[in-house]
């Protein structure tokens, strides 16, 4: 086989023409590509921006192109094997994009010379999105979550697992299957990022407001079942759970306390009696660069999970509809409380989520009842999960006015 033919086969496999130039990190915008160049720099001069240095600043353009093609192929591929082509019907029978379009979408560079060099080196000219007809993984999950919410809000709240399988034939994931699919994604791709252990020295604050001072674990902890008369974000009326935060301000704000209240705020500081496993929907990892081949598989699950986290933490007005609007997050919570298991077959102790009223901070719901918290000097029992270690009482009006003055 001649060298010319070998080169053609090699280029076809690579999907881009070989280029012997060198490129520096300043010529690109993606952080992952910039890091790659800095770690693989072998030349002191950039062939594109002409920047020079006493140390190596430029990497082989060919190596950068391999990463760029990894990114392109994650989202798009050649339409030849995907859709029909009719020369008499305006070509491909679906929407395609040319190479310049997708390079613009990826936002690889703002340097026109580099942009043209990348575009020219790529051998394919037309592209179509992966899974063009059925949607990407995050789109499928989004449709599944939408169908799930519609089912439990307006169709069947308690028997949807048995009755909803055949009623959403247009959804890729039926409402009955959605939670199992979500759990599978968490276990297979994201458990190390979303299952967080809270240590025994982590303070958890819970606030009760009223006309009197609350001083005991029973009065400051999760309410008794008979007193859990309100529908909350993660728990319906009648089911007791412990709502708290990891800083006092968020705990106070989440309690619904306002400047106009003339109440006493009782703040209980609790410590776990054992490490707690929480589903962390508050601080999710950044979505990886599409050029990071090793972590590409996290892009779609994380993209969905971030949107999902925002959705279940969104503010809901207590206007009489909250007992309806909270239903999807309540069912999700019960699933993770009673059914979900980690890869090591462990149950969760709660969920960490964005505070709806203090977005830069987190709130938590712990799956425990009134009898599972004990007082500071009380001998702990096997069922105890939290210990009340400190109680403070403040005047709502003065305290929140002080916070407002500091923040403004």
Whether residue 305 sits in one domain with residue 179:
no
C-alpha pair distances (Å), 129 with each of 69, 110, 236, 291, 307 = 14, 24, 42, 16, 21
The gap from C-alpha 381 to its chain's centroid, in whole angstroms, comes to 36
The reported pLDDT for the residue numbered 168 is 46
Q: Identify the residue whose tokens are 């999105």.
A: 129
Whether residue 281 sits in one domain with residue 218:
yes
Mapped onto helix, strand or coil, the DSSP state of residue 122 is strand
Whether residue 33 sits in one domain with residue 146:
no
What gap in Å lies between CA 46 and CA 58, rounded to an integer?
6
In the chain (408 residues long), the average pLDDT of successive 10-residue segments reads: 46 73 96 96 96 96 94 84 56 74 93 95 85 74 84 70 49 76 89 93 93 92 87 85 93 74 85 96 91 90 87 70 76 91 95 86 93 94 96 72 45
Whether residue 352 sits in one domain with residue 235:
yes
Task: Calculate the dihedral angle through the C-alpha atoms of 154, 155, 161, 165, rounding to the nearest 10 degrees.
Answer: -120
Whether residue 200 sits in one domain with residue 180:
no
What is the DSSP track for 59-95?
EEHHHHHHHHHHHHHHHEE-GGGTS-EETTTTEESS-
Last residue of a domain, one of 188, 204, 225: 188
The gap from C-alpha 252 to its chain's centroid, in whole angstroms, comes to 26
Identify the domain containing residue 158 by its residue range: 137-188
Whether residue 212 sits in one domain with residue 282:
yes
- Please give the DSSP secondary-structure letter assigned to residue 134: T
What gap in Å lies between CA 39 and CA 267, rounded to an integer?
51
Whether residue 292 sits in one domain with residue 169:
no
Whether residue 170 sits in one domain with residue 114:
no
Whether residue 386 sits in one domain with residue 254:
yes
Whether residue 230 sits in one domain with residue 100:
no
CB 336 within 8 A of CB 351: yes
Whether residue 77 sits in one domain with residue 216:
no
What is the total count of domains within the chain? 3
Whether residue 352 sits in one domain with residue 305:
yes
Last residue of a domain, one of 105, 129, 153: 129
- What contacts 123, CB < 8 A, 6 or more positions away? 11, 12, 15, 16, 17
Mapped onto helix, strand or coil, the DSSP state of residue 217 is helix
The reported pLDDT for the residue numbered 408 is 40
- What contacts 82, CB < 8 A, 6 or more positions away? 94, 128, 132
Structure tokens at 271: 């410590």
What gap in Å lies between CA 114 and CA 65, rounded to an integer?
11
- Please give the DSSP secondary-structure letter assigned to residue 358: S
The string of pLDDT tens digits covering residues 228-278 is: 888 788 888 889 999 999 999 899 888 876 656 667 889 999 999 999 999
Q: Nearest 5°: phi and psi at 350?
A: 170, -175
The reported pLDDT for the residue numbered 398 is 59
The reported pLDDT for the residue numbered 31 is 94
């Amino acid at each position: 086989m001649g060298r010319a033919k070998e080169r053609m086969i090699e280029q076809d496999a690579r999907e881009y023409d070989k280029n012997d130039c060198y490129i520096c990190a300043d010529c690109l915008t993606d952080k992952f590509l910039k890091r790659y160049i800095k770690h693989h720099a072998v030349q002191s001069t950039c062939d594109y921006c002409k920047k020079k240095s006493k140390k190596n600043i430029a990497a082989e353009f060919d190596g950068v192109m391999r990463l760029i093609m990894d990114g392109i192929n994650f989202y798009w591929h050649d339409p030849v094997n995907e859709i029909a082509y009719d020369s008499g019907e305006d070509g491909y029978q679906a929407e395609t994009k040319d190479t310049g379009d997708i390079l613009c979408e990826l936002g690889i560079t703002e340097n026109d010379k580099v942009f043209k060099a990348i575009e020219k080196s790529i051998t394919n000219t037309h592209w179509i999105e992966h899974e063009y007809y059925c949607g990407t993984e995050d789109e499928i999950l989004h449709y599944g979550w939408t169908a799930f919410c519609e089912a439990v809000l307006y169709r069947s709240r308690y028997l949807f697992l048995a009755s909803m399988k055949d009623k959403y034939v247009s959804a890729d994931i039926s409402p009955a299957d959605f939670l199992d699919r979500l759990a599978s994604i968490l276990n297979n791709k994201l458990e190390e990022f979303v299952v967080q252990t809270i240590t025994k020295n982590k303070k958890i604050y819970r606030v009760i407001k009223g006309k009197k001072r609350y001083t005991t674990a029973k009065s400051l902890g999760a309410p008794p079942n008979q007193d859990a008369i309100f529908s909350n974000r993660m728990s319906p009326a009648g089911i007791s759970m412990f709502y708290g935060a990891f800083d006092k301000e968020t705990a106070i704000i989440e309690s619904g306390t306002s400047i106009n209240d003339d109440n006493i705020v009782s703040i209980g500081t609790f410590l776990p009696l054992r490490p707690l496993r929480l589903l962390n929907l508050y601080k999710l990892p950044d979505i990886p660069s599409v050029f990071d081949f090793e972590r590409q598989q996290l892009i779609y699950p994380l993209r969905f999970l971030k949107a999902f986290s925002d959705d279940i933490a969104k503010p809901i007005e207590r206007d009489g509809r909250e007992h309806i609007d909270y239903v999807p997050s309540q069912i999700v919570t019960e699933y993770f409380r009673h059914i979900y298991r980690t890869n090591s077959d462990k149950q969760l102790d709660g969920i960490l989520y964005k505070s709806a009223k203090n977005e830069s901070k987190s709130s938590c719901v712990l799956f425990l009842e009134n009898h599972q918290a004990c007082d500071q000097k009380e001998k702990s029992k096997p069922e105890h999960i939290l210990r009340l270690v400190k109680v403070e009482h403040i005047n709502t009006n003065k305290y929140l006015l002080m916070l407002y003055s500091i923040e403004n």
